[in-house]
A and B are shown apart, each in its own frame.
Chain A
Amino acid sequence: MAGPKYPGFDTLALHAGHSPDATTGARAVPIYQTTSYVFRDSAHAASLFNMERAGHVYSRISNPTVAVLEERMAALEGGVGAIATASGQAALHLAIATLMDAGSHIVASSALYGGSHNLLGYTLKRFGIDTTFIQPRDLQGWKKSIKGNTRLLFGETLGNPGLDVLDIPEVSKIAHEAGLPLLVDATFTTPWLMKPFELGADLLYHSATKFLGGHGIAIGGVLVDSGRFDWEKSGKFAQLTAPYAGFHNMDFEEESGTRAFLLRARREGLRDFGACMAPMTAFHILQGIETLHLRMPRHVESTRKVVGFLEKHSAVQSVMFPELESHPDHKLAKQLLPRGCGAVFSFDIKGGREAGRKFIEALRVFSHLANVGDAKSLVIHPATTTHYRMSDEDLKKAGIGPGTVRLSIGLEDADDLVQDLERALAVASRAK
């Protein structure tokens, strides 16, 4: 007898977490543009505050529109739940602030988005949280860098901008042997290309601004918990397993088991740090998610065409894309990313910084801006923009050279993209 089946990805992308509005029959997710919610009576209010009843109190903590996005993302990722945040950076901060105090330590991949590198390498240091950066392929390095006060291992599913593929099965094994969780930034892959929890990750987050939204009109983040990390067994997370005076002496793990992390993240993190998502933003991101399963294959298909063109072009020194045999993670990518390696990649243009500048300025279809994962094709020069605060040494560690150009391939006609690149490369070549 065949067992019951879960709804498929495409169906969840359209329906998870929401049924037509019971009062009005509205089919689309309503935008609950409200800060707060009327209590039925005083007893109901007290019960909501003391977490004896489920519901919404104040939109910094939860909101019905935002909750649909959270539930939908948890469904697509296979998590127990999610928290939507003001940005991807807010999601990363929320994860760290929920798990750590001053004196804690993180082991992180060196191939990170510049903003994440800043947060870990500089900003969190001011608050007593140190980070050791490890080249993501250096498995021994991950292991050796774990110290008594380490509380998290962290990397990107596809590192920025060299597309280093994080070996989640191996790195999560190292984390779990040390009683630690692995957090991954899954922005570049989205749940359509990779399910990090199935590979061993414990927590993940997205900059929802990118492929999830896909339209480039809303900034947001989503933090998702697999619910599979046993905080009690680890014994290293008193934040979740000991009574907390900041929340009525609640022991979050005892109270809620698999939901402990999200419970504290929501009830403390959103309450005190306040980096919540606005309902209108959640609505925008939801519109994008409804077509994620249609957009991602097209992103991947067009990227392959563009990569194929660049790889053969005489003005291009190298292309960094894990689907190419020349990429150091080609084999791992085939194993972990069978649907494709996304639509963001870098290449080095011959002629260095000046050729890069000329190239970018000659493009007509690609937009020169600091974002990725848009329906429109984008281009940027990391050394002078997203990663400009990094030293030359750190840039080199992250696989960025003076002539490195990052492309985000959109949904335009791929032939038009190739033509645009061809013309700009010709201009750049004349500049040498």
Chain B
Amino acid sequence: MQLQLNGKAAFAYTAAHEIDPAKRTIVFVHGAGLDHSWWGLQSRYFGYHGFNVLALDLPAHGRSAGPALSSVGEMADWVKKILDEKKINSAVLVGHSMGALIALEFAARYPAVAERIALIGVAYPMKVSDAFLDAAKRNDQSAYDMETIWGHAPQVPFAGNPNPGMWMYGDTLARLGRLAPGVLHADLVACNAYAGGMEAAAKLKCPVQFVLGARDMMTPPRGAEELIKNIGNSKNVRVATSGHSLMAEAPDATLDALIEFLS
């Protein structure tokens, strides 16, 4: 679905369905440097199982026009504007990595809209190393390599992709290769600078679910422990075999966790 927001193109994948006001809505928010298609299997499932689906391309990602937004707060507000545009006043937010921070901040800022949130592959604080930030700032290939290698479990190169015939490293690199210069850096800066996590956690009024990969090198599960503790009553799923890219590495486990959370 192509939208116009403040005169700029914005895109949301809807699984080829029109928005139906009678249905619950799920908003999928991708992580740094990625796009809506990262949610391919999960977003399609819910679109064909009675939900409105909006798998977003954040500004400067996928089919949405730039420039990239510079903070998690701005991104949360942008998501709200998309919902306003489509006259959606209640939604489940499912976010991955940076998208999880956006979902968290969204739920704190707009508690009446956030029906529940699922935080996948998240850590707080989401600190990014200087080397990674510096490489991204220079638009150096090594930044894309870091995102690719750290973004998957160590065994990924030597394990079969659940999606037959696909090579996860190659797919991630190809996606990152389509980004305009500076976009990955802007995303990483936003993650690194986000300092409102605990404050947002204290304001949450909706059910929360964590889905974490036990082999995550980008946001190891221990990085979510404080957040989980502060939120208190949350559902927590840990996927033993997965790294950071849970939707691709463990698509069924991720989908099943979401199905259970939303049922």
Chain A residues near B (Cβ < 8 Å): 1, 3-7, 12, 15-19, 47, 50-56, 62-64, 66-68, 70-71, 74-75, 78-84, 226-228, 230, 232, 243, 248-251, 254-259, 262, 266
Contact = CB atoms under 8 A, between A and B. Distances in A.
Is the contact region of chain A dominated by helix, strand, or loop, or is it mixed? loop
A262 B167 CA distance: 12
Size band of the interface chain B makes with A: 35 or more
Contacts of A19: 155, 158-160
A79 B63 contact: no
Given A79-B170, A80-B171, A82-B165, A255 B44 contact: yes
Interface string B137-162: 00000100110011000010111111
A3 B16 contact: no
B48 A50 contact: yes
Contacts of B251: 53-54
B160 A56 contact: no
A52 B41 CA distance: 5
Nearest to B44: A52
5 contacts: A4-B145, A19-B158, A51-B41, A64-B164, A258-B171
B51 interface: no
Interface of B: 13, 16, 35-37, 40-41, 44-45, 48-49, 62-63, 129, 131, 135, 142, 145-146, 149-150, 155, 157-167, 169-171, 173-175, 177-178, 251-252, 255
A248 B155 CA distance: 35
Contacts of A18: 158-160
A53 B256 CA distance: 10
Nearest to B255: A53
A256 B40 contact: yes
Contacts of B35: 257
B45 A52 contact: yes
B166 A3 contact: no
Given A4-B145, A83-B165, A258-B175, A52 B13 contact: no
- In the A-B complex, list the 3 residue pairs whose CB atoms are closest, starting with the nearest: A227-B174, A70-B165, A74-B167
A70 B170 CA distance: 13
Given A70-B165, A255-B37, A15 B158 contact: yes
B171 to A, nearest CB: 4
A80 B44 CA distance: 21
Contacts of B131: 1, 3
Contacts of B49: 52
A262 B165 contact: yes
Nearest to A40: B252
A71 B169 contact: no
B167 A71 contact: yes
Contacts of A71: 160-161, 165-167
A53 B158 contact: no
Contacts of B45: 47, 52-53
B13 A254 contact: yes
B221 to A, nearest CB: 20
